[in-house]
Amino acid sequence: MHAQSAPALPVTETASSGSDGGNDGAWKRVTSSLRAELGEDVYTSWFSRLALDGVDPDGTARLSVPTRFLKSWIESHYADRIVRFFTAEIPDVRRLSIGVRSACAKVAVRPAATIVSAPIADVLPTRLSVAHDGTHETGTANLVGSPLDRRLTFANFHVGRSNTLAYAAAQQVAKAKPHEPVRFNPLYVHASVGLGKTHLLQAVGTEAESGGRRVLYLTAERFMFGFVSALRAQTALAFKETLRGIDVLIIDDVQFLQGKSVQQEFGHTLNALIDANKQVVIAADRPPAELESLDERLRSRLAGGLSVEMGGLDEELRLAILKARVAAEEARNPGFSVPSEVLDYVAQVVTANGRDLDGAINRLVAHNTLTNAPVTLEMAEQTLRDLVRTHEPKRVKIEDIQRIVARHYNVSRADVLSSRRTQTVVRPRQVAMYLSKILTLRSLPEIGRRFGGRDHTTVLHAVRKIEALVAKDAQLAEEIDLIKRMLQE
């Protein structure tokens, strides 16, 4: 894919802390505009991991994302729009540069000012074609997996209440012997951004390889742009032969798999491997039932093994992760040390995810090494200000949404749940469905059930409809905003 819509979008590989203090307000408004124009689903799929790294004096806004796939997708589909929103906020911005945050930055904590790129010896490509004794198998040499990072292991994956089950299932799958029957197939792990899915999948890959199994680890990007075309170049027989060469297939971020034919290949691969008793491990940011771009059969195949969710990192878990990161950093940087009250403080206030914890340590290291200032509580408070969540958003219940929306539109809650289709109840019903999608974590099918047993496609239609109306009807947007605030108070 090429960037056609925006001028000069160089490919840059930067390690980023993902924050640009001076333009935070403008960036927030840019992302709100994107969200409003594109809708919550599209926004979450493509932009939730987009970060602003800075705005250069020549008018280049430097953004970053974690994968090349996201980079090329955003460049080719959304660059123009982002520039437009930026220019409305900061008139000097004329172009974008989207960088890929280095995988290495996830674990190796270095000063933020240092450009980090993964050392080749540390990030070994997993070649399906390489057998355990190092010889190359024929017929599969064209299938090259995404890299496995040997540093993301079970040993340094910290276990707490939110991920015990996923960890145990992942271990079981990874430690199985090459010809043992496969128990959980596929193993499907889902969690929101930065909660350790990639870490766990990488650990499965490394462990399974060290147990003598042949592993193919693919990001969704590699699946779409490498694996699928390699498969298409083969005959059906060669395809089967190829799959025979895999013991464990791991696919990360399947929510990004797009397109009918890619899905077909994905479905074939999944079926062929599962039927042949080969292990498949999948990660995504949502449960199988909510992978709206996949067809029904595929979703049910994905849900047919073991699907486990990893929840947020609790404070104990955050502290354990921080301690390990800091210990590694202290070993690397003899002058760097973090007092325990600072660790406790960071664990208490940086609550979002593992990536923010990495970012917090990066900043402390950068501040310490660049200014020689010791790490103190005060310094940490200053440096980490924007990573601190002041308050958790209130959890909103679907019943409350139905009640408040009904009251606002002067209809009854029973009307909202009924099958009546007059405009006076259709609009409040659609608004309530829309708010249920954006303010709760409920899936579309669940929302449908709670609105008088409706189908998930009805909910999706309502969400899209209201999104489209809100984008052009300022009065409705204001009305909905008001209801939202009432619900969140």
Ligand X SMILES: Nc1ncnc2c1ncn2[C@@H]1O[C@H](COP(=O)(O)OP(=O)(O)OP(=O)(O)O)[C@@H](O)[C@H]1O
Confirm if 241 and 209 have CB atoms less than 8 A apart.
no
Provide the angle, in degrees to the nearest 10, between the axes of the packed helices 197-210 and 164-175: 20
Q: Is 198 annotated as a binding residue?
A: yes
* Nearer Cβ to ligand X (101/437): 101
221 lies in the binding site for ligand X (CB under 6 A): no
- In whole angstroms, the minimum distance from the beta carbon of 365 to ligand X comes to 15
Interface segment toward ligand X; rule CB under 6 A; list 79-87, 191-199, 287-295, 448-456: 191-199
Confirm if 246 and 273 have CB atoms less than 8 A apart.
yes
197 lies in the binding site for ligand X (CB under 6 A): yes
97: three-class secondary structure by DSSP: strand
193 lies in the binding site for ligand X (CB under 6 A): yes
165 lies in the binding site for ligand X (CB under 6 A): no
Confirm if 218 and 145 have CB atoms less than 8 A apart.
yes
Interface segment toward ligand X; rule CB under 6 A; list 1-9, 90-98, 190-198, 460-468: 190-198
- In whole angstroms, the minimum distance from the beta carbon of 82 to ligand X comes to 19
147 lies in the binding site for ligand X (CB under 6 A): no
- In whole angstroms, the minimum distance from the beta carbon of 485 to ligand X comes to 29
Question: Between 316 and 335, how does the x/- string for binding to ligand X read (CB under 6 A)?
Answer: -----x--------------
- Out of 39, 99, 205, 354, point to the residue binding ligand X (CB under 6 A): 354
User: Using CB under 6 A, which residues numbered 271 to 310 contact ligand X?
Assistant: 285
Which residue is closest to ligand X by CB?
354
Q: Is 119 left (phi over 0), alpha (psi -120 to 50) or beta?
A: beta
Interface segment toward ligand X; rule CB under 6 A; list 192-200, 213-221, 272-280, 327-335: 192-200
Question: From start to end of 237-388, where are the E strands?
Answer: 248-252, 279-284, 306-309
- Out of 191, 204, 257, 364, point to the residue binding ligand X (CB under 6 A): 191
Counted residue by residue, the chain has a size of 489
Q: What order do you get walking across the sheet with 187-190 strand by strand?
A: 215-219, 248-252, 279-284, 187-190, 306-309
Tell me how many residues contact ligand X (CB under 6 A).
21
d(CA 78, CA 31): 12
User: Using CB under 6 A, which residues numbered 237 to 276 contact ligand X?
Assistant: 253
User: Using CB under 6 A, which residues numbered 52 to 81 contact ligand X?
Assistant: 66
Q: Is 196 annotated as a binding residue?
A: yes
- Buried-state track 241-251, b at ≥16 Cβ within 10 A, e below 16: ebbbbbbbbbb
Site of tokens 């090459």: 178
Q: What would the two tokens of residue 449 be? A: 């059930």
Single-letter residue type at 325: R
195 lies in the binding site for ligand X (CB under 6 A): yes
* Nearer Cβ to ligand X (364/431): 364
Q: Is 194 annotated as a binding residue?
A: yes
Residue from 247, 218, 262, 193 nearest 44 by CA? 193
Q: Is 145 annotated as a binding residue?
A: no
d(CA 52, CA 17): 9
Interface segment toward ligand X; rule CB under 6 A; list 80-88, 195-203, 387-395, 412-420: 195-203
Site of tokens 């933020």: 112
* Nearer Cβ to ligand X (278/286): 286
Site of tokens 């979008």: 9
Q: Distance of alpha carbon 33 from its chain centroid, rounded? A: 20
Instruction: Please give the annotated binding residues for ATP, written as ranges.
Output: 194, 196-198
> Which residues would be at the binding site for ligand X (CB under 6 A)?
49, 66, 106-107, 157-158, 163, 191, 193-199, 253, 285, 321, 354-355, 358
